[in-house]
Copies of this chain bind each other. A is one copy, B any other.
Amino acid sequence: MPQRKLQVVILGAGFGGLEAAKALRHAPVDITLIDRQNYHCFQPLLYQVATAALSPADIAWPIRHILRRQANVTVFMAEVAGIDAAARIVNTNAGPFAFDYLVIATGARNWYFGHDSWARFAPGLKRIEDATRIRRSILSAFEEAELARDDAERERLLTFVIIGGGPTGVEMAGAIAEVARQTLARDFRRIDPRTARIVLIEAGPRLLPNFSEHHARYAHDTLAAMGVDVMTSSPVLKCDDGGVDLADGRIDAGAVIWAAGITASPAAQWLAAEHDRAGRVVVRADLCVEGFDTIFVVGDTVAVKDPAGRPVPGLASAAKQMGKYVGKLIAARVAGRSMPPFRYRHQGDLATIGRRAAIVELGRIQLKGFVGWMFWSAVHIYFLVGLRNRFVVAITWLWSYMTFQRGARLITDAAPTAPVD
């Protein structure tokens, strides 16, 4: 009778979870990968779905297809309800899953600094559904402005507020500016989309705190040249149906987008484990949760320091490194070997501002402008999953570059589908 194989359960098929599964491909274990979606989403390009440049399917790929050739993985679509760490069981909406080793890679979600009600007015950008919702809110504002019968309402509808001056906020502001000034420029009769006001609001003293002062200034100036109002040192006091309140006044807006804060998925609650202010689980140097020798946390759900003592940033490359490390560590443990502690290696930061403008900081490689933008484009196409997606995204970008158009200008799911339409 064959010996029962050790059960590894991985929660989440983002960058971290997928790498953990792959790193275990030669290990004599049974892997169960659980995600609430049936696809892996390439989050760095979600903002392009939100601004009608790409379709959801261009940046998402079925998890089970990615792993179809790895025979020791079974993929399930289910949602985690809780973890019984003592009994070594994950409870889900599709029943319990027993584990010998558990990898939690459930990522992060939008965080409104305790004001959950703002979520209704200022959608964030973590999931495909968020992206199509933001796309709908941006495109609908232009449609409603074309129909508006008074000037104040038209002006409100043509004001777009992006909250948060990190990479996502900068990318969204630049992309919305291009939608208004270029893509839609000649498509309306009563309004001139080029007159739209785009406001990027940052609570801190400058944009892009993770980048050099020099590059942050370049991003600020480039956005200003594209007609984006950049407001720094401006914390948002309130979001509501018609706009946002700041300390020095109110901005009425047709669409508000949240790029200001995220919090970890509730792994710390599931485990009743120690966590930091952003909800991230505090772990040992081997990414194992203190007190649970076979439970690991990776990616945006964990608080880890790099060798210099700085927090590891919430980047795809960091999640991948952690996932790969934990996969290898479990394989080593199963084989009776040990591994040195996790060591984060910062690969760099990239952000795009708009057409022909991006910033790249990869150690000695420091790029901006057109060269940075070409580099950014190439890197993102390289990291996409699947040949078709790479090809379609490359063609779509080339076409957009030449025509100023965007291929996915659809307002969908405006209301729940009626039983009989």
* A interface, CB within 8 angstroms of B: 37-39, 55-58, 60, 62, 64-65, 68, 73-78, 94-95, 109-110, 112, 116-117, 119-120, 123, 126-130, 132-133, 139-140, 143, 146-147, 149, 186-190, 387-389, 391-392, 395-396, 399, 403, 405, 407-413, 416-417, 419-421
Contacts and interface: CB of A to CB of B under 8 A. Distances in A.
A419 B116 contact: yes
A389 B407 contact: yes
B77 A411 contact: yes
A301 to B, nearest CB: 14
| A116, A146, A387: most-surrounded residue (chain B CB, <10 A) | A146
A346 to B, nearest CB: 28
Given A56-B412, A399-B388, A117 B421 contact: no
A421 B264 CA distance: 11
6 closest cross-chain pairs (CB), A and B = A57-B408, A55-B55, A119-B419, A77-B143, A64-B187, A74-B189
A142 to B, nearest CB: 9
Contact of A420 (B116, B186, B416, B419): B116
B187 A65 contact: yes
A314 to B, nearest CB: 16
Nearest to A139: B38
A273 B413 CA distance: 32
Contacts of A128: 410, 412
21 contacts: A37-B411, A39-B411, A55-B55, A55-B408, A56-B410, A56-B412, A57-B409, A65-B409, A74-B146, A74-B189, A74-B190, A76-B143, A110-B420, A112-B420, A116-B420, A119-B420, A123-B417, A127-B421, A130-B421, A132-B412, A387-B399
Contact of A129 (B140, B188, B190, B412): B412
B391 A395 contact: yes
A389 to B, nearest CB: 7
A409 B39 contact: yes
A239 to B, nearest CB: 12
A130 B143 CA distance: 23
Contacts of A116: 419-420
Contact of A392 (B68, B190, B392, B403): B392
Contacts of A130: 417, 421
Contacts of A39: 409-411
Interface core residue of A39, A75, A421 (most chain B CB under 10 Å): A421
A392 B397 CA distance: 12
A404 B389 CA distance: 15
A119 to B, nearest CB: 4
A76 B78 CA distance: 41
A50 to B, nearest CB: 13
B129 A413 contact: yes
A128 B388 CA distance: 23
Nearest to A66: B187
A318 B62 CA distance: 39
A63 to B, nearest CB: 9
A420 B114 CA distance: 11
Contacts of A123: 417
A406 B130 CA distance: 24
A126 B55 CA distance: 20
A405 B417 contact: no
Contacts of A112: 420
Contact of A146 (B76, B127, B389, B408): B76
